[in-house]
Amino acid sequence: MVEKGKKKVLLIKLSSLGDVIFNIPLANILKDNGYEVSWLVSEKGYDILKGNPCVDNVILAPFVKWKREYTFCQKMKEVVQIRKYLKGCNFDIAIDTQGLLKSMFFMIFMNIKRRLVNKSAREFSTLGGNEWVSVPANDDYNTHIIKKYLAYAKHLGLNTDEIKLTLPPSEQESVDKINELLKDTDKTKPLVVVCPATTWDNKHWDKDNWKSVINAIKDNYTIVFTGTKNDIDLIEYIGEGKFLNLAGKTNLKDLIELFRRSDLVLSLDSGSTHLAWATQVPKIVSIFCCTPPTLYGPIGEKYISLSGKLACQPCHLRKCKKNGDGYNACTKLPSPDSVLKAIEKLMDLRITEG
């Protein structure tokens, strides 16, 4: 039960999964400083916020459903209904960390005394605010994205030294499901969860590099792959059909439980990496191709983020602008040997090739 008299804050961060995770420390700082925290989020982040101690109330704006199933008029009708609900909540503060047109629709014309927006936000979303926060620029790759979001807490005069990550507890359904999926795996070896795919092609590490790493560690670790149904063929190529492939068999709640049982996660700049980090359980080796690890990599001593050293890295672009041999050259780096050395460093286990 929220104490009477607490200030009520609305946090607007709609997507993606990684961005929602990167806002959890901000929500925790607000909560720990006596605010009642509500969060407006889309489907992609709903399952990691519902039941999360960082938030008191989770409000769903189903953008994925709207895009797939709704006409413009149907969509706007529900947007108006959500705005009406938000308006009736009598928030003291609203914080728009999304900074786009779609988030501005929920900020503008609201009877909220303080409406905080990044002063450099895009798509005219600054019009939704009445207080403009100085946030490090998007191309400042030396400031981690979490610290950029914490600028809003600093603007409110709060201490931002602690980065506190929380997730909801695992539901029994997910516990039972992961028990069943892992029942035949070798429990005598460290469990490595491999997440070799994400949404950008030029975030994908070379599939033959993956194969080299998997072949090198297969005798020392129990290996499990995760991904979506679209990743099944890639995973079968990398693992040559020899390992447990959970692609398309788990949801976010299941993945949280799986990561909580793992010793090591091998992954990319992806939602899986950020989710594994948010559990604060496994060690992580993450591979960055076109994006900067200093901006998105897990923070802490038991995490290593690797990338190449090409002059064009990090470009932070969805599509490579190079031609010929230079096209997506960053996806060939780092070398498999660099990844193996990182695994050995974290796990303190010498890899012996079979």
* Beta-carbon contacts of residue 56 (< 8 Å; ≥ 6 apart): 2, 31, 36, 37, 38
Residue 352 has what pLDDT? 54
Instruction: Provide mean pLDDT across the span 210-235.
Output: 96
Radius of gyration of the chain (CA): 21
- Of 155, 186, 220, the position where a domain reaches its end is 155
Q: In the predicted model, is pLDDT for residue 74 greater than 90? A: no
Residue 321 lies in a domain: yes
Residue 349 has what pLDDT? 65
Residue 353 lies in a domain: no
Residue 198 lies in a domain: yes
Question: Cα separation of 192 and 263, whole Å?
Answer: 6
The single-letter DSSP state of residue 201 is G
Residue 354 lies in a domain: no
| Same domain for 119 and 192 | no
Q: Name the more confident of 69 and 266.
A: 266
First to last CA, the chain: 57
Residue 351 has what pLDDT? 63
Count structural domains, the chain. Answer: 2
Which of 36-40, 67-71, 77-81, 260-264 shows the lowest per-residue confidence on average (mean pLDDT)?
A: 67-71
118 - beta bridge partners? 133
- Of 155, 180, 203, the position where a domain reaches its end is 155
Question: Cα separation of 94 and 152, whole Å?
Answer: 10
Residue 86 lies in a domain: yes
Q: In the predicted model, is pLDDT for residue 350 greater than 70? A: no
Instruction: Provide mean pLDDT across the span 309-315.
Output: 92
CATH number, domain containing residue 339:
3.40.50.2000
Q: pLDDT of 164-186, one tens digit each?
A: 999 999 999 999 999 999 999 99
| Same domain for 336 and 237 | yes
Residue 341 lies in a domain: yes
Residue 1 has what pLDDT? 35
| Same domain for 176 and 150 | no
| Same domain for 192 and 119 | no
Instruction: Provide mean pLDDT across the span 320-327.
Output: 88
| Same domain for 177 and 149 | no
Classified as helix, coil or strand, 38 is: strand
Q: In 3D, which of 107, 115, 130 has the Cα closest to residue 14?
A: 107
Instruction: Provide mean pLDDT across the span 15-40.
Output: 95
Instruction: Provide mean pLDDT across the span 239-258.
Output: 96
Task: Choose from 45-54, 119-128, 344-353 the range with maximum mean pLDDT.
Answer: 45-54
| Same domain for 253 and 134 | no
Instruction: Provide mean pLDDT across the span 57-78.
Output: 86
266 - beta bridge partners? 194, 285
Q: Name the pLDDT band for 110 (thresholds 50, 70, 90).
A: confident
Mean pLDDT of the chain: 92
Q: Which domain holds residue 50?
A: 8-155
CA angle (174 as vertex; 169, 175 as ends), nearest 5: 80
In what side-by-side order are the strands of the sheet with 57-60?
57-60, 36-41, 8-12, 93-96, 114-118, 131-133
Residue 161 lies in a domain: no
Residue 287 lies in a domain: yes
Residue 233 has what pLDDT? 94
Q: In the predicted model, is pLDDT for residue 108 greater than 90? A: no
Instruction: Provide mean pLDDT across the span 283-311.
Output: 95
| Same domain for 94 and 193 | no
Amino acid found at 66: W
**For residue 150, how far is the Cα from the chain centroid?**
16
Residue 5 has what pLDDT? 59
| Same domain for 245 and 187 | yes
| Same domain for 199 and 92 | no
Instruction: Provide mean pLDDT across the span 84-100.
Output: 93
Q: What percentage of the chain exceeds 90 in pLDDT?
A: 77
| Same domain for 139 and 220 | no
* Beta-carbon contacts of residue 329 (< 8 Å; ≥ 6 apart): 308, 310, 312, 322
| Same domain for 247 and 124 | no
- Of 125, 155, 185, the position where a domain reaches its end is 155
Question: Cα separation of 339 and 341, whole Å?
Answer: 5
Q: What is the pTM of this model?
A: 0.92
| Same domain for 326 and 185 | yes
Q: Name the pLDDT band for 312 (thresholds 50, 70, 90).
A: very high
Question: Cα separation of 110 and 10, whole Å?
Answer: 12
Q: What percentage of the chain exceeds 70 in pLDDT?
A: 97
